[in-house]
Amino acid sequence: MLNKFVYNYFLLLFGFIPFTILIGSSLSLLNIILIDLSFIILILYLKDFSFLKKDTLKYFYILILYLFFNSLISLDSSIGLSRNLGFLRVIIFFLAFNYFFKIEFFFRKVLIMWGIIISIVVLDVFIEGFFGQNILGFKSELYGRKVSFFKDEHIVGGYIYGFFLIIIGNLMNEYGAKYKYYILFFSFVVLVAIISTGERANSIKALLGLLIFYFLIAKFDFKKKIFSSIIGLVVISSLVFNSEFLKLRFYDQIKSSANSNNIYFKIYKSGFEVFKKYPILGVGNKNYRVETCDVNKQLSTPDELYEKLRYVCQTHPHQIYFEFLSEHGIIGTLVLFYIFYKLIFSKIKIVLHNRDYLQIGSLIYLLLIFLPLLPSGAFFSDFSVTFFSLNISILYATYSKMNIFNNNKII
């Protein structure tokens, strides 16, 4: 049994994760580091390290070793080293999550706190939509976009989406027997909030994620699923086409994206150009910008000049496959996808058979990370990796046979 102080201490740290992300990346990172360091101290005190031999962790060990190697062969090792070694915090966080979330009443309280915070943010997005600014007076400088509590960053849609399927899955587990229609309506409201931010990729993922989740719920019969899905899509289409801003973002700009001059296609091509130059090992994590943005680079041959003209100077290629290929090459990409297959894709059958909706929600989020063509943030960036670590931790921690600290294993 956990000491009451230790229990409450970790409850606050885990419970306020969504709040710390809202405040800023520095506080979010500090909170994760506090969880990691505190967990290390707890484990050292308990003197039980048997969990380190679990098969699941072997893939994390391979990943961190590969990332360290990737830093050594990078164009500029100092740039990617902190990001690569920083992935250690994800592994320790994963362990801490598994340890505490095996305690049912602990994770129930945490998820209630998360649900309250996310509901406040969703409400704030609608307030900003109606009044032109959020409850703190923050507003976007871009027409129609939403910032909510993020002040000057257009990431609130991605933030809500990161918790979306977790919250809906937990509600369906807890209250689906009696209140499934209310939960379905709430999920639709949250989806509309995400779409209203104008973040196209996150909106598409949230829509696909909810549809997949809905069709996997055994509580609704198939005919009702088809009928309500059609109604929902009609309502969303009506909202988009009756809003000048949303029509511009989701129809006009997506329609124009078929043009070869689309900025994302140019960035994707640039990422592929980098991959063609460094096909085996890539330029190194976070080094795409080094290769494409170095204005002082000597261009002595026609091929080098052509290459430079084909580049688009950005922090990353804005698409996970081009990011992996350009920064990790074919070898690194195969290593990464082997690890993700073992950690995520190989668990699909187990999760679907278990029918835990919280776990299903997390799995869907993780699978949609690898959706082709859609733009995405840098996978190893703090913002993206935080939501990756949250969802993969829930995927394992909330099912006793996959939890790292449970002896009855199927992993």
- Amino acid 343 reads L
Lowest mean pLDDT of 310-314, 336-340, 348-352, name the range: 310-314
Residue 60 three-state SS: helix
Mean pLDDT throughout 249-272?
Answer: 76
Q: Report the largest interatomic distance among the alpha carbons of the chain, rounded to a whole angstrom.
A: 71
Residues 6+ apart with CB under 8 A from 148: 121, 124, 125, 128, 134, 138, 156
Q: What's the pLDDT tens digit per position in 55-106?
A: 899 999 999 999 999 999 999 888 888 788 888 999 999 999 999 988 888 8
State the Cα–Cα distance between residues 334 and 308, nearest whole angstrom. 27
DSSP at 319? S
> With bands split at pLDDT 50, 70 and 90, how would you rate the model's confidence at 411?
very low
Tokens 């580049």, located at residue = 311
How do the domains of the chain map onto residue ranges? Answer: 4-48+87-256+355-397
pLDDT at 305 over 70: no
* Percentage, residues of the chain above pLDDT 70: 92
Average pLDDT score over the chain: 89
pLDDT tens-digit map of 362-403? 999 999 999 998 888 889 888 999 999 999 999 999 888 899
Quote the pTM value: 0.92
Amino acid residing at 191: L
Given a contact cutoff of 8 angstroms between Cβ atoms, the answer to whether 307 and 313 are in contact is: no
Task: Evaluate whether 326 touches 271 at the Cβ level (below 8 Å).
Answer: yes
Model confidence at 201: pLDDT above 60: yes
Instruction: Specify whether the CB–CB gap between 102 and 405 falls below 8 A.
Output: yes
d(CA 142, CA 128): 13
**Is the pLDDT confidence value at 157 over 50?**
yes
- CA triple 365-368-372, angle to 5 deg: 165
Over the stretch 166-178, which tens digit does the pLDDT of each residue have?
999 999 999 988 9
Given a cut of 50, whether residue 328 has pLDDT beyond it is yes
Q: Taking Cα atoms as reference points, which of 380, 405, 394, 399 lies closest to residue 63? A: 380
What is the H or E stretch that residue 310 is in? helix 302-310
Is the pLDDT at 23 greater than 90, yes or no? Answer: yes
